[in-house]
Every structure is written in structure tokens, then in C-alpha cells.
Amino acid sequence: MKTGLYFGSFNPIHTGHLIIAQHLLNETDLQQVWFVVSPQNPFKQQKTLLNEYDRLYLVNLAIQKTSGFKATDIEFNLPKPSYTIDTLTYLEEKYPQHEFVLIMGSDSLQNLDKWKNAETIMQNYPVYVYDRPGFPADQPEIKQLTRLKAPLLEISATHIRELVQQGKSIRYLVPDEVLDEIEKSGYYKLKNPAK
């Protein structure tokens, strides 16, 4: 089964992520998209990083009505920070019947050569890249690169966290279920949430 892996901190998941994932299911040969919640991105140190279980819960709330989407906590039990090559190796062993494809925005592509074992990733895994505003998607070293057109939405988790801190509404930037849970639990209101 051809399965797209959408890696991210998802702090929190937002409509930008979801529209891209749905677009990929609709417009490519992917049969499933898995949201891989990374406990700790090697390149991001965030005081506002919500506990990974809470982020996973928000992802599950966001995708519960969509067939073809799955959230995975696979990185929770792998060493931190979360290196994508380690996750890919683990997933391949655990799910031999799946053919995994990396999904990434052209912004991530620009840093890819700095990732752990970048060469192995670029030589061995199919990568589906969609454009992000301001980031050209040129990366000829990737052996199996597919460039996709996708809706451009300038939504970021950073902006969502800032809006919550300022007491402003994030309606429509996240699904209603996610909005309700963020409000109910008081996420992102404090500068240093409990981990």
C-alpha cells in the first residue's frame, strides 16, 4: 500500500496541513497519509512545544472523520530528537507491506541536506514535494522526486500560538474540534506550558 508520511511537530495541527494531506490523497497515487507526530524536531527548540501526547490527541481530533488519514506515535518510543531516517528504517521493518513516500513542503526541502543521513534519504526514498510560498523546490539530488501543485495557504502553527496568546480567535485556522480542545485545555496561553 502506497503510504505518504507527513512528518511534523503539529504544535498544533492546522488547516494548512489538512488541506495538503487531503489534496495528496485526492490527486496522487497515495492510498493513505500518516501524520507522524515528532516529539522533538532536531532543528526546533521551542518553549511553547506542547506535550507530544496532547499534540497527538489534537491530530486525532482533526482527522477522525477522514478515511485514509492516520496519526502515529511511532516516534514517541524512538530516541530523541526525532531523526527521520531512524523512523523510516523502523517503519519499513514494522510494515513491510507498505511503500512509504515522504511528503514535504519546499521549505523543508531546503534543509534536507542537513538532516541525519540525508544522502540515504535522497537516494532511497520517494519524496513528494509541494510548493511553499517563497521556497523554490529545486533539489536535483533526490533520486525519486515528485513535484506537486498544491493549494498555498500561509497558515503556520507559530502564528496560531501567537493568536492564542493574544486572546484572538483561531477559528477556521484549525478544525472546530481542535479549537474546542485548545480552548478547553488552555493550551498555548502560557509562555512555558507544563511538559
Ligand X SMILES: Nc1ncnc2c1ncn2[C@@H]1O[C@H](COP(=O)(O)OP(=O)(O)OP(=O)(O)O)[C@@H](O)[C@H]1O
Helix runs in the chain, H state only: 15-27, 52-63, 84-94, 106-109, 118-124, 157-165, 176-185
| Residue 38 lies near ligand NCN (rule: CB under 6 A) | yes
The site string for ligand NCN over 47-86 (x = CB under 6 A, - otherwise) reads -----------------------------------xxxx-
Give the residue closest to ligand X by C-beta: 16
Contact positions with ligand NCN (CB under 6 A) in 79-98: 82-85
Contact between 7 and ligand NCN (CB under 6 A)?
yes
Report how far residue 128's alpha carbon sits from residue 104's, in angstroms, rounded to the nearest whole number: 6
157 binds ligand X (CB under 6 A): yes
DSSP readout, 164-175? Answer: HHTT---BTTB-
Task: Name which of ligand X, ligand NCN, none residue 84 binds, using a CB cut-off of 5 to 8 Å depending on partner kind.
Answer: ligand NCN
To the nearest whole angstrom, how small is the minimum distance from the Cβ of residue 97 to ligand X? 25
42 touches ligand NCN (CB under 6 A): yes
User: How far, in Å, CA of 110 to CA of 30, rounded?
Assistant: 23
Strands 69-72 and 32-37, by their bridges, are parallel
Stretch that binds ligand X, among 2-10, 58-66, 77-85, 167-175 (CB under 6 A): 2-10
Q: Look up residue 37 and give its amino acid.
A: V
Q: Does 87 bind ligand X (CB under 6 A)?
A: no
All three cell numbers of 20: 495538503
- Tally the C-alpha atoms within 13 A of residue 124's C-alpha that lie toward its C-beta: 10
Selection from ligand NCN, ligand X, none that 82 binds (CB < 5 to 8 A by kind) is ligand NCN
| CA–CA–CA angle 100, 153, 60 (5° rounding) | 50
Binding site residues, ligand NCN, CB under 6 A = 7-9, 38, 41-44, 82-85, 108, 115-116
